[in-house]
Amino acid sequence: MNRRTFLQGVASTAAVGGGAVWYTYYNGVFGAEEGSAYSAWAPPAVEDGPQLLGLVRSAILASSPHNTQPWRFRVGAQFVELYLQPARSVKGLDPYLREAHIGMGCALENLCLASAARGYSARVSLSSGKLDSASPASLQMVARVDLSPEHAQMDELYRAIPHRHTNRNPYDPQRPLPSGFAQELQSVSSCFNDTRLFVFEDSAPRNALARVSAAANLELYSDPAVEGGNQQWIRWRQSDIENYKDGLTIDNFGLSPLAVAAAKLSPECMLKRMAAPSQRSRMYQSQMQTARLIGIIAVKDRMDVPLSLQAGRVWQRAHLFATARGVAARPCNEAIEMIDYERAAGLETKRLAQLNTITHEPSWQPTFLFLMGFPTRAAHLSPRRPVEKVSMI
């Protein structure tokens, strides 16, 4: 959004004095992707340091829940180990760290794609075990990738890595997806055992999923503990983005340019009061209804560590494939998160039953839900911690 567009939109409602101009600049109203928090998206001019750090540069551009970036990497001469940072979680939204493990799987997939493109054969070893409420307090290794020289293979998924962004804007409900897109999507995501991708293009199941998800969104964020875990990862101000280099930013909330500018000019306390769960739930359902495709990634055991990592690899491949085809995508996981929430609270598992009535396959357990369609607005970059902050050499 440029200065002229902004001033045209708010001149009738705001008087801009010297103090307001400083406030506007400080909160980044005129710049959505400025500063060192976004430098990871630009390719390095010179490949410095150990060669395998180039693989980590690709890994850190992966998807993660609420952009928590729960990863650390130990880089050796011929291997890379991936470690989960339990503290980098959304707490009440992810009581078993299931989504954090999915985020680690996304990073693992990017790393494997980069390995092939850079001339390495990657042998992946995943940690075993089950997810439970007793979250580890320290770093936990979840995967090791042993590398050996091989002929380089650079495919379209690897080339899409720097262009993949979560797009929370409304999609164009009138524009169909490319012919055969759903079938290709399932094919590119079918390379892992014990995972399954359900794809819904018809309006009836899509509307049912939108209703279930909106209700789950309202119930989840009405819980102060869940809302507190969510607020921890919202970066309201430009200074916070530069300081933390993670989390969700106003630019990527899916608001119109004018609403983004107004939000950046508002005090943080007012923003938090305005973002009531009921209002967010309505906006959530409305956006879901504009998608042309809703997908569910399911596994045989959603509390299994290796399967959670595999689900992340499937999501990353699906999102990269969509990016390569010019299609926008975003996670939409509240209905899935409600399954964990109900389990942790000892409640009846209503959401799992509701999702099973839509998939008609109760033996497959939903662990990730997403939207796809053509966007009405481009997504902005998300902040990223640099390689040197997440690597252990």
Strands, sheet with 293-299, edge to edge from the N-terminal-most edge strand: 195-200, 293-299, 365-373, 328-331
**Looking at the structure, do residues 209 and 255 belong to the same domain, yes or no?**
yes
Give the pTM.
0.90
**Looking at the structure, do residues 82 and 181 belong to the same domain, yes or no?**
no
Range of the domain at 19: 3-30
**Looking at the structure, do residues 152 and 301 belong to the same domain, yes or no?**
no
Tell me, what DSSP letter sits at residue 44? P
pLDDT digits (tens, 9 = 90+) for 283-292: 778 889 999 9
360, part of any domain: yes
**Looking at the structure, do residues 264 and 347 belong to the same domain, yes or no?**
yes
37, part of any domain: no
293, part of any domain: yes
Q: What residues are paired with 122 via a beta bridge?
A: 147
Question: How far apart are the C-alpha atoms of 190 and 224, rounded to whole Å?
Answer: 38
**Looking at the structure, do residues 307 and 182 belong to the same domain, yes or no?**
yes
If one counts the domains in the chain, the total is 3
Return the CATH number at 68.
3.40.109.10
224, part of any domain: yes
**Looking at the structure, do residues 182 and 282 belong to the same domain, yes or no?**
yes
**Looking at the structure, do residues 18 and 131 belong to the same domain, yes or no?**
no
**Looking at the structure, do residues 94 and 135 belong to the same domain, yes or no?**
yes
> 207, 173 in Cβ contact below 8 A?
no
**Looking at the structure, do residues 192 and 70 belong to the same domain, yes or no?**
no
83, part of any domain: yes
Chain centre distance of CA 310: 15
**Looking at the structure, do residues 305 and 213 belong to the same domain, yes or no?**
yes
268, part of any domain: yes
Q: What is the pLDDT along the chain (393 residues), one digit of tens a residue?
A: 433 333 334 333 333 334 443 344 445 554 567 789 999 999 765 455 567 899 999 999 999 999 999 999 999 999 999 999 999 999 999 999 999 999 999 999 999 999 999 999 999 999 999 998 666 778 999 999 999 999 999 999 999 999 999 999 999 999 999 999 999 999 988 889 899 999 999 999 999 999 999 999 999 999 999 988 888 999 988 999 999 999 999 999 888 888 888 878 877 666 665 566 666 777 778 889 999 999 999 999 999 999 999 999 999 999 999 999 999 999 999 999 999 999 999 999 899 999 999 999 999 999 999 999 999 999 999 999 999 999 987
39, part of any domain: no
**Looking at the structure, do residues 205 and 327 belong to the same domain, yes or no?**
yes
35, part of any domain: no
**Looking at the structure, do residues 109 and 187 belong to the same domain, yes or no?**
no
260 is written with which tokens?
A: 């983004």
